[in-house]
Amino acid sequence: MIRFLISVYACLLALVLILTPTAAWARQVSGEVRGRVLDGADRAPVSGARVEIEGTAIVLRSGSDGGFHVRNLEPRVYRLRVTALGFAPVAREFTVQNARVSEQEIVLTRMATTLATQRVEAARDTAAFNAVSISRTTIEGSGARDVADVLQTVPGVVVTRSGGPGQPSRVSIRGSSSNQVLVLVDGVPVNSAVSGNADLSLLPIENIERVTVLTGAQSARYGPRAMAGVIEIVTRRPRYERSLLVRGGGLGEWGGAASIGVTTPGARLTRGFSLSADHREVQGDFRFEQPAVRGGGIARRDNAQAAITQFVAGGLLEGAQHQLTLRASHGLTRRGMAGSIVQPSLTGRQAFTRSAGGATTNHALGRWSLASTFDVAREAGRFTDHAPPFGQAYADSVTASTFAFTGSATTQWHGVTTAAGTEVRHLEVQSSSLAANAPVGQTLAGGWVNARTERSVSVGAMEWRLNSDAALRADHSSLLAGASWSPRVSARAAHRAFALGVSYGAGFSPPTLADQFFHEGVQVRANPSLRPERTRHDMEVRAGVRDVSRLGALWHAEATAYRADIDGMILWMPDFRFIWSPNNYDVQRRGWDARAGVRIPTWHVEMAGALEQTNVTYAGGVLTGQIAYRPRLTANVQMAAIHGASRAELVTRHVGVRRVVAGSGLNALPAYRMTDLRMSSAVSRAGWTFAPTLSIENLFSRQAAMLVDYPFPTRMWSLSLRIRPQSATLP
């Protein structure tokens, strides 16, 4: 298999090399940008200014001399945006040429009297050594339809889709349950109020600026459900932008998206507005090979069509010391519920709507930075099947309303950044799938404190940069007695390219309403007396090197070992009468992961790989073996060939054997590998940029199932075209 993958990657690279003139490749050498941020009034340096290269993940702060420096940039045109407290924002384009340094002098115009102190920004987590961030540029070039596609190759993350495109998608981090992963959009949880799960297929990517994955227990800062990690999604802030996307593909897929944004800087106030719309449809029916345990042969998965529509709007008012951000969204999903291989349904349907709105304020008052967020959301779903394969016809409905407020204050004193905040969230739920004794409301309240330090220490001839972080949070649920405490401490030491980090934390997750109060049926019984799930000892050690230049290439590597046992994990199990009911079970989660990559600028080739082993096993009692459907071994290998704005990439994902009882092959699901091919480019004509992307998923048409009852389709393809003005800069 390894030789086969190497030959495939070599063929791809050779194809790109053949299609591209050799001289053009020889001319492409990485360049740099170096500059200073100056005050236009007296030419004094502006320290702490936010310097962003738009469309990339590069965000940094100017130094005490106002300087900034970015290396290893591909030769092309970039867009630079610089903002600082008390100054009007500046945006401009600059060109990186082969093996040259682009010098930039950014002169800022004062909007009001400059404060005597520097603005302090609240950070939700520590120096994020355990974070993987995916930029807008990567998202656009991936050909992804939704957030589930974006996360496929993130180390430690396993995405489970109940069928093909448009079907419900769940995420697991390091062998966790999906309701132990908190998913946030601009700081607002999108996990279901009933099940605790977040359906990633409902999150379009057109309006997303960045996706960050934080592994490990994060309840000390993010609260309930952040037991195994957090997926933080940041949408695009209002800016001058126009773009159009059209898409088509296999399985009857078609769709489109459009975005428009306007930003108007002023002497005292900057105003901005943005609006985006996204619509996707897929027929979804496909043939698949049934596993032997289900009788074998070829079957057809029908009733898998889906139509998803999303609208997102945002507004911005930004002054010298204050900022107000407004957001609103509305989504409508209609899809068939095809059921499982065992119980396929031709008549099951789902209709789901979600409307949300909110506002965030930021104020700079001397040494203090104050922030507040208020959000409301209403979800309504209806699930019907007039001729189900098992049981009686049903028409279930669920309506959930959420009201949330978060406030925080941050200050800096003698090199220590201290923050404190509070969060209150109230849920009102009505559902025909819940029992009559189910509560109609739930209030979650939490408070947290956080302290961070950063300093330099000289040890002999070596200078180390030390970061430390300590946080403590208390949470209370109106459905539980007492408070739950979640601490987290972490430390990081860095010397040049090498960094070492350690962390210790705890997580907390209350039982879901679906687990406690699910409407009892034939062979199904809920459990109102469930205890909360807790991760008491989440420990992690991480070491890595980044941007090491050797042999004409840039190398990076990272390795992590972790332990994250869970007390009282909620699992549905049958009793001796085969009545399925949830209960609390202690579970051990231990493992390691390693990833490495290399970038060879002169060859314009990038290669990366990741390998992870996670053991998720029952901790005692009559239950033994690995938890069902948690793969022990996962891996991915990526290789890309780049020429200017063109990129060709192969990605192979490996999922190991699942549902294994130690020493036995009972109920084991075999391992599988899938390979995806992506090709993207960009061409500018008549003031417009045209960026086509071709994606072929499951290139070799492998037959596999993430769960034995939910098959994957075989080879799929999609082609998209994005159109935007060639230079959409701030006026």
73-98, pLDDT tens digit by residue? 777 777 788 888 767 788 887 877 66
Would the pLDDT of 24 be above 70? no
Cα(584)–Cα(530) distance, integer angstroms: 7
Q: Are 200 and 151 in contact (CB under 8 A)?
A: yes
Confidence of residue 636 (pLDDT cuts 50, 70, 90): very high
Q: 3-state class of 6 per DSSP?
A: helix
pLDDT of residue 505: 93
User: What's the pLDDT score for residue 296?
Assistant: 80
The confidence score (pLDDT) of residue 49 equals 82
670 falls in which pLDDT band (50, 70, 90)?
Answer: confident
616 CB contacts (<8 Å, ≥6 apart)? 175, 587, 588, 589, 626, 627, 630
Q: Which of the four pLDDT bands, split at 50, 70 and 90, describes residue 20?
A: very low
Domains of the chain from N-terminus onward = 2-108 (2.60.40.1120), 229-725 (2.40.170.20)
One-character DSSP codes across 151-195: TTTSTTEEEEESSSTTS-EEEEETT--GGGEEEEETTEE-S-TTT
Three-class SS state of 592: strand
491 in helix, strand or coil? strand
DSSP string covering 511-564, please? PPHHHHHBPPBTTB---TTPPPEEEEEEEEEEEEEEEEEETTEEEEEEEEEEEE
Of residues 709 and 647, which shows the higher confidence score? 647
| Least confident residue range of 113-122, 269-278, 349-358, 603-612 | 113-122
Mean pLDDT of all residues belonging to the chain: 83
The token duo for 72 is 């290893």
Residue pair 601/588 in contact (Cβ under 8 Å)? The answer is no
Q: What is the mean pLDDT of residues 354-359?
A: 93
Compare 497 and 126 and report the one with higher pLDDT: 497
CB 639, CB 9: distance < 8 Å: yes
Instruction: Give the residue-averaged pLDDT of 320-329.
Output: 89
Range from 93-102, 192-201, 407-416, 672-681 carrying the lowest mean pLDDT: 93-102
475 close to 223: Cβ distance less than 8 angstroms: yes
pLDDT at 14: 39
CB 607 within 8 A of CB 597: yes
Residue with the larger pLDDT of the pair 669 and 654: 654
Over range 618-642, report the average pLDDT.
Answer: 83
CA angle 485, 489, 491 (to 5 degrees): 175
Task: Provide the pLDDT for residue 120.
Answer: 30
Contact 598, 607 (CB under 8 A): yes
21-33 mean pLDDT: 50
In this structure, is the dihedral angle defined by the CA atoms of residues 515, 521, 523 and 529, taken in order, positive or negative?
positive
Q: Could you tell me the pLDDT band of residue 416, with boundaries at 50, 70 and 90?
A: confident
What is the rounded distance in angstroms from the CA atom of residue 119 to the CA atom of residue 24?
A: 46
Could you give the percent of the chain with pLDDT greater than 70? 88
**97 is written with which tokens?**
């040429």
pLDDT category at 495 given cuts 50, 70, 90 is confident
Say whether pLDDT at 119 is over 50: no
Who wins on pLDDT, 134 or 116? 134
- 190, 192, 196, 200: CA torsion to nearest 10: -60
* Nearest C-alpha neighbor of 69 from the set 85, 58, 54, 81: 58
Rounded mean pLDDT of 119-125? 34
354 within 8 A of 331, measured Cβ to Cβ: yes
What 3-state DSSP class applies to 697? strand
Q: Which of 595, 569, 593, 596 is nearest to 583 (CA)?
A: 569
Predicted confidence (pLDDT) at residue 334 exceeds the cutoff of 90: yes
Burial-class residue 266 by CB neighbours within 10 Å (0-12, 13-18, 19+): exposed
Secondary structure string (H, E, C) spanning 496-526: CCEEEEEEEEEEEECCCHHHHHECCECCECC
Instruction: Characterize the bridge pairing of strands 229-235 and 181-185.
Output: parallel
CA 254 to chain CA centroid, Å, is: 24
Res 666 pLDDT > 60: yes
More confident residue, 291 or 174: 174
pLDDT at 576 over 80: no
Tokens of 537: 């000892």
Tokens 């980090």 sit at which residue? 501
Please give the pLDDT value at position 102: 81
Q: How confident is the model at residue 111 (pLDDT cuts 50, 70, 90)?
A: low
Q: Are 204 and 309 in contact (CB under 8 A)?
A: no
| 334-343, 356-365, 430-439, 614-623: the lowest-pLDDT one | 614-623
**Residue 141 Rama label (left phi>0; alpha psi -120 to 50; beta):** alpha
The pLDDT of residue 402 is above 60:
yes
Residue with the larger pLDDT of the pair 47 and 361: 361
Greatest Cα pair distance in the chain: 82
* DSSP three-state, residue 2: helix
Reported as a pLDDT band with limits 50, 70 and 90, residue 306 is: very high
Average pLDDT over residues 301-315: 92
Which two tokens mark 228?
């195994």
Confidence of residue 659 (pLDDT cuts 50, 70, 90): confident
In the chain, the percentage of residues whose pLDDT exceeds 90 is: 33
Q: pLDDT at position 64, please?
A: 66
* Exposure letters 640-657 (e unless 16+ CB within 10 A, then b): bbbbbbbbbbbbbbbbbe
SS3 342: coil
Q: What is the pLDDT of residues 718-728, one digit of tens each?
A: 999 999 887 54
Q: Are strands 633-643 and 605-618 parallel, antiparallel or unpaired?
A: antiparallel
From CA 525, how far away is CA 709, in angstroms rounded?
22
Mean pLDDT of 423-429: 93
pLDDT tens figures, 535-566: 988 999 999 998 788 888 888 899 999 999 99
Query: pLDDT: is 207 or 179 the higher one?
Result: 179
pLDDT at residue 730 is higher than 50: no
Which pLDDT value is given to residue 346? 92
**Between 137 and 675, residue with greater pLDDT:** 675
Output phi, psi for 438, to 5 deg.
-70, 140
pLDDT for residue 21: 40
pLDDT of residue 471: 94
Average pLDDT over residues 235-253: 85
Q: What pLDDT is recorded for position 593?
A: 92
**Residue 123: pLDDT over 70:** no
DSSP letter assigned to residue 201: G
Taking 70 as the threshold, does the pLDDT of residue 525 lie above it?
A: yes
Rounded alpha-carbon distances, angstroms, from residue 610 to 149, 161, 491, 559, 596: 17, 21, 24, 10, 7
Q: How many CB atoms sit inside 10 A of residue 102's CB?
A: 17
The structure tokens 């930029």 sit at 135
The predicted pLDDT at position 55 comes to 63
Q: What are the residues whose beta carbons fall under 8 Å from the beta carbon of 82, sequence distance 6 or more?
A: 37, 49, 50, 51, 52, 89, 90, 91, 106, 108
Instruction: Indicate if the pLDDT at residue 6 is higher than 50.
Output: no
pLDDT of 11 higher than 60: no
Higher-pLDDT residue of 490, 266: 490
Q: How far apart are CA 80 and CA 725, in angstroms?
A: 16
Q: What is the pLDDT of residue 13?
A: 41
pLDDT at 63: 74
Provide the CB-side half-sphere exposure for 282 (13 A, CA): 27
Least confident of 40-49, 167-176, 266-275: 40-49
> What pLDDT was estimated at residue 705?
62
Q: What is the pLDDT of residue 520?
A: 81
